[in-house]
Amino acid sequence: MSNYIVLVKQVPDVSQITDNAFDPETGTLVRSRLASVINELDAQALAFANKMRQDSSDEAGKIIALSMGPPMAEEVLRYSLSRSADIVILLTDRALGGADTVATANPLAFAIRKIVKEILKNDNDYYVITGMQSVDGDTAQVPAQIAEELNLPCIAYVTDAQFKNNRFEFTRIISGGSQIVAAKKLPAVITVAKYEYPLFATFSRTRWANKTQVIHWAASDINAAHIGVTGSKTSVIRVFPPGKSTRKCQQISDAESLAKILVESFKSGNGQAGKNGQAQAPQYVLPNKRASLFNRNFEGTKKEQADYEILSGKLQKLGITRTNQIDDSSKEKILEAAGEHFHKKALEDMIEGFKLAKPSFEGEVWIVAEHSDGVVHPATFELIGKARELADSLETKVGVVIAGFNIEAMSKELIAAGADSIYIIEDKLLGVFDPTAHRKAIADAISTYWPQIVLYAATPQGRMLAPMVSYRVSCGLTADCTGLDIKDSSRKGDIGLLLQTRPALGGNVMATIRTKNSRSQMATARPGVMKRIPPDPSRKGKIIRHKVKLTEDDVNLEIIKTELGTGQVDFNADVIVSGGKGMQSRDNYEQLLSLLCDAMSKRLDTQVERGASRAAVEQGFIERVHQVGQTGTSIGPKLYVALGISGAIQHMIGVANTETIVAINSDPNAPIFKQCDYYIVGTVEDIVPSLVQALE
């Protein structure tokens, strides 16, 4: 009999976000201005646990919902009771507040240990089920880090479970397709990416839920190792609003006008390919190479930035431009000139900070390579391009660590892409990606060579591996970064830090984060944002073989079936027309896409290729090889036409480098309309035939 510990989180309702939800000074969210709701994926996880209990005909199995948060988070536990939970526990204590993912996963893991001991009476036949990520943090790191703390298998991005031969087989999303897997041992952590059969509360169950006791535990009840701000390994330096979309987002009223725009956009090529990367920041220079004290790339809070401006202004007035000019007598003069603006201690700290020259971290800049069937994932090459820039600034080398079996042949391409050293970990047991085996191998290499920066691609594989590795080697990790820069923080004299910028709250704010209390700074970076540098086959690099002792026990997943796209698609075509779930049926997809692709091909005199959203592929409208997006292919055509596609982040990541994006969708509030250049509100059945006619 299995039991189910379901993790549920109370989050702000970001679907209802308004402009006044943010503090204009700090850019931070004012939580009280938004309603609080259960994290949607956690509600799905609860329904998923209920399905597992029903499918295994194991009605005696308990569903225990666990949440960590303020006292008002009781609401999500009552929600859980009214749907399917039998017992609910709230971990609540001021000391737990302000935590990053490590200081969230750690107390939750300790609470799970207490549940197992006191409620399940040490019965190890249980699953921890949780949503893949929460909408406020969007990191997907906590479940993997809980698994790491508890030393359990973790099956991420699950969309279905089948009870067969007395055990569960899980369907999950992987890059390029899907996979059916089973955990080789229990307990196991399962993260739910999509389960669309919600549970509804009955009247009697709601009455029972309101009367049932919510068990409260404080920090002292669980004795976790890392809690709150002090137990965190990252800290937020700055929160700011995202820049406005550079897409035109222009509504077009009729098909004839849209046809004209399609032709003009294609011919003039005036879209924005390549503009989506980061603006080129001036390259960071180490202190001992700086021409002047003020040539520094600095980032801090608004107050720290302002303090820096004041102090550097005063120094310039005093004619001090080099750190060796700061001696005891000039220090007196500085204190006198700037004293009115600062406390003496803060000012002294800042002056001392100016004098520091040694970088805060040492070692190489590393990339963890992702590959499959001897082919390196494109995101790995993008990261090597970024690592080259970071390493050149820090005057260090770029290392790529690659784990697998029969992998050496890929080294050549990795070196040509910008790597100086390739760390190869070869073992038969690493032949297919198993999170626990691979994290053991990578963590072992990191804790042998201690690079100062480790970057992973924010693909499903990278977002699974990175939290496990970082937790195992006690380092901070920032998820899904869209900006990575080396900068100083003058106040505390930190030199050459990796500042990690990422969207949060469903893209409604941006946060810049730094690593603390760690020997290495780690981040996953969003595919399609960093730029690959042109390969140079004449580059030379070093091969280092790293041995790690692995046994069958390190492999935790049994892979039952892998489904990857096969067939040929030419995504280098200048025009790609994609259909989504809104195409309604395979016939509709086939008929409408044929019509539009033919008409565009003739009118524009170019090749037009077909694409699809993941949902359309899952509906069977077209083969998987046509999927565009995070787990499909990233494309960058001149023109992209999205038919009946909502604009989920995982889809849009894949079209970020497109010049012109056009969308047709029947929902006037479709998210894609805020991420495209031109759109028409209407059904594909109405718009596509008139568009074809207008093109002809």
Ligand X SMILES: Cc1cc2nc3c(=O)[nH]c(=O)nc-3n(C[C@H](O)[C@H](O)[C@H](O)COP(=O)(O)OP(=O)(O)OC[C@H]3O[C@@H](n4cnc5c(N)ncnc54)[C@H](O)[C@@H]3O)c2cc1C
Given a contact cutoff of 8 angstroms between Cβ atoms, the answer to whether 53 and 61 are in contact is: yes
Q: Cβ distance 294 to 483 under 8 Å?
A: no
* Minimum CB–partner distance for residue 635 and ligand X (Å): 11
User: Looking at the DSSP assignment, which residues form a beta bridge with residue 128?
Assistant: 5, 189
Which 3-state string (H, E, C) describes 635-680? CCCCEEEEECCCCCHHHHHHHCCCCEEEEEECCCCCHHHHCCCEEE
- Between residues 43 and 446, which has the closer beta carbon with respect to ligand X? 43
The residue (of 50 and 133) whose beta carbon lies closer to ligand X is 133
CB of 527 to ligand X, least distance (A): 10
Distance in angstroms (rounded) separating the CA atoms of residues 534 and 267? 27
Distance CA 452, CA 434 (A): 25
Handedness of CA 417, 651, 281, 234 (dihedral sign): negative
Give me the least distance between CB of 645 and ligand X, in Å please: 4
Q: Which is nearer to ligand X, 65 or 583 (CB)?
A: 583
- Asked whether the CA dihedral 327, 329, 335, 338 is positive or negative, the reply is negative
Beta carbons of 662 and 676 less than 8 angstroms apart: yes
| CB of 71 or CB of 668, closer to ligand X | 668
Nearer to ligand X, 182 or 617 (CB): 617
Q: Shortest approach of ligand X to residue 133 CB, angstroms?
A: 9
Q: Nearest distance from residue 665's CB to ligand X, in Å?
A: 4
CB of 642 to ligand X, least distance (A): 8
Q: Which two tokens stand for residue 401?
A: 């660590």
3-state secondary structure 126-142: EEEEEECCCCCCCCCCH
Q: CA-to-CA distance for 598 and 204, rounded, in angstroms?
A: 58
The three state secondary structure string of 584-616 is CCHHHHHHHHHHHHHHHHHHHCCCEEEEECHHH
Identity of the residue, 465 or 616, whose beta carbon is nearer to ligand X in the bound complex: 616
489 and 497 Cβ atoms separated by less than 8 Å: yes
Sheet of strand 365-368, all strands in order from the earlier edge strand to the far edge: 477-481, 521-525, 453-457, 365-368, 398-404, 421-426, 542-545
Are residues 25 and 244 in contact, defined by beta-carbon separation less than 8 angstroms? no
Max CA separation in the chain (angstroms): 83
- The smaller minimum CB distance to ligand X, of residues 191 and 520, is found at 191
Could you tell me the smallest distance in angstroms from the CB atom of residue 276 to ligand X? 17
Q: Which residues contact 84 (CB under 8 A, 6 or more apart)?
A: 46, 47, 49, 50, 53, 63, 199
Q: Are 140 and 101 in contact (CB under 8 A)?
A: no
Instruction: Report the nearest approach of ligand X to the CB of residue 580 (Å).
Output: 3
Task: Give me the least distance between CB of 619 and ligand X, in Å please.
Answer: 8
Cβ atoms within 10 Å, residue 51 = 17
HEC profile for 678-696?
EEEECCHHHHHHHHHHHHC
Q: Which is nearer to ligand X, 353 or 629 (CB)?
A: 629
Q: Which is nearer to ligand X, 284 or 589 (CB)?
A: 589
Q: How far is the CB of 36 from ligand X (least distance, A)?
A: 23
List the beta bridge partners of residue 679: 251, 663
Question: Which is nearer to ligand X, 324 or 669 (by Cβ)?
Answer: 669
Tokens of 448: 């042998």
* Closer by beta carbon to ligand X, 503 or else 632: 632
Closest approach of ligand X to the CB of residue 379, in Å: 12
Q: Which is nearer to ligand X, 132 or 424 (CB)?
A: 132
To ligand X, the closest distance from the beta carbon of 595 in angstroms equals: 14
Beta-bridged to residue 372, according to DSSP, are 375
Nearer CB in complex with ligand X: 573/612: 612
Closer to ligand X by CB, 353 or 580: give it: 580
78 versus 614: smaller Cβ distance to ligand X: 614
Name the residue among 620, 601, 602 with its Cα closest to residue 612: 620
Q: Least distance (Å) from ligand X to the CB of residue 582? A: 2
By the 8 A CB rule, do 687 and 680 touch?
yes
Under 8 Å between Cβ of 32 and 24: no
| Minimum CB–partner distance for residue 493 and ligand X (Å) | 40
For the bound state, the minimum distance from the C-beta of residue 566 to ligand X, rounded and expressed in Å, comes to 17
Q: What does the alpha-carbon distance between residue 385 and residue 300 come to, in Å, rounded to a whole number?
A: 26
Closer by beta carbon to ligand X, 196 or else 552: 196
What is the smallest separation between the CB atom of 161 and ligand X, expressed in angstroms?
16
> Residues interacting with ligand X, by CB under 6 A?
157, 173, 193, 460, 580-582, 584, 613-616, 627, 629-632, 644-646, 648, 650-651, 654, 665-667, 670, 683-685
For the chain, the C-alpha Rg in angstroms (whole number) is 27
Q: Among candidates 514, 521, 237, which has minimal Cα distance to 362?
A: 521
